[in-house]
Structure 1
């Protein structure tokens, strides 16, 4: 099990932030553990976070990845995907990701994906332009240089020339139609569509129970990967959330 989850509320000046993330490591625990400890810290240190959050998050992802690569002797040769969500004053959600952990929002019962699955086939030309290749053997998924099943990740120093750590970033307004948000590693998404995940928990009002149910449903559907998820549920008419974590 190399998934790490993060959820924290904190006040910064006159703003309330909700910080949520799933880090899905491969080959080692060190990189996702490092991300859990440092990525949000690096994002919030960016001087233009409040005025240009997308630019700040992109820069912080790059800075964090460079540090991980520089510390490869200590952190090992592995890497990690990441999906992060920053909730600002319960009004605006900023989502960023590298890899295939995913963020999905439910509004009026309808699922909407907020992140981008960085699959090798989708980015094959970019990988080949960097000198790499994408292979797919029978019974397996496509892999960068025959090794990694995602086209973007933190770390992975031996593959970095062919692998990006540039995140996709999206912003979403939290309005009266918003019901809940799911962050989950690919152990959920390999066996469930976005709408299936939403339908699975749409009638569960307790966030931890919702996260537990989603995890158990993925296991029941024979998911063969690590499974972690965070569910945060908007409390109607109140500027607050219920948050549940489960791995």
Structure 2
């Protein structure tokens, strides 16, 4: 890095203000743990900006909340496209919308599906403010360390490690697999030479939040899975497609199953994806159970 001359260097006060208003990228990694006395869990996350020529468009959530005397672990990765406004909105609103659903404690699956649809509707209604872009999502809610609810739209993925074996909990919503629905709604799926299938030749996923210009042919309906947590469940990996494009599920599990620190595990996965020449943004959360 070229050194600045004393005359042109910013004042100390300016440097402090800049640091506050523009925090360093060190905030893209971290870890935490539940405070529940039984069935405790720990988590770690690591996010790396890709080399695709645009600013970082991945966002994550990793936090714990107490609701109705239950401890909830809330985890998500939002992989944006055409800007970061939609994933930023999701980061601040999606879980609140899920937990505000009256049916959440009686029927979490229905509450999650309702909240996904309602959130997408709000994004579209505010498209003048949020822009034309969209976002995929993978979300995980852990209730009292005993129950895991995973949902997704798009190609961000959740992979569970059970007795050392990988189990994909989510569905990759690829356009080719939903071609019949898309065509029935008036759209089309095309694959140009050297490229992947795309909705109307544009988007490489069949489900997403936002994307107003394609919404007539996209779905915001999530796939939802429930997993009871027992002693056979070791950890779960949430990651954007920047990881899964270059790594198979079992490869990812094998790479980190001996790493007890979930932050170190998340970092190892992202660094391996970079080593395998992934150029997309890479975001990863590892949640360990019984720690």
- Quickly name the TM-score band, shorter chain normalised: over 0.9
Residue of structure 2 aligned with 1:37, choices 92, 108, 111 = 92
What is residue 120 of structure 2 aligned with on the other side? 65
Distance 2:82 2:280 in 1: 14
Equivalent residue runs for 1:37-116 within 5 Å: 37-116=92-171
What is residue 203 of structure 2 aligned with on the other side? 148
Equivalent residue runs for 1:85-234 within 5 Å: 85-234=140-289
1:2-60: CA deviations, max 9, x gaps?
Answer: 00011011111210100000000000100000000000000000001010000010000
Distance 2:167 2:154 in 1: 18
| TM-score normalised per structure 1 | 0.95
Distance 2:110 2:290 in 1: 30
Distance 2:62 2:156 in 1: 15
Runs of 4+ in 1 over 2 A off after TM superposition: none
Q: Which runs of 5+ in 2 are unaligned?
A: 1-55
| RMSD of aligned residue pairs (Cα, Å) | 0.6
Distance 1:45 1:4 in 2: 22
| Number of aligned residues | 236
Distance 2:144 2:282 in 1: 29
State the SS of the aligned residue for 1:195: helix
| TM-score normalised per structure 2 | 0.80
Shift, 1:235, TM fit:
2.9
State the SS of the aligned residue for 2:175: coil
1:173-221: CA deviations, max 9, x gaps?
Answer: 1110011110000001001111000001011010100000000011111
Relative contact order, higher structure (CA 8 A, sep 6+): 2
What is residue 290 of structure 2 aligned with on the other side? 235
Q: Which runs of 5+ in 1 are unaligned?
A: 237-247
Larger radius of gyration: 2
State the SS of the aligned residue for 1:123: helix
State the SS of the aligned residue for 1:121: helix
State the SS of the aligned residue for 1:228: strand
What is residue 244 of structure 1 aligned with on the other side? none
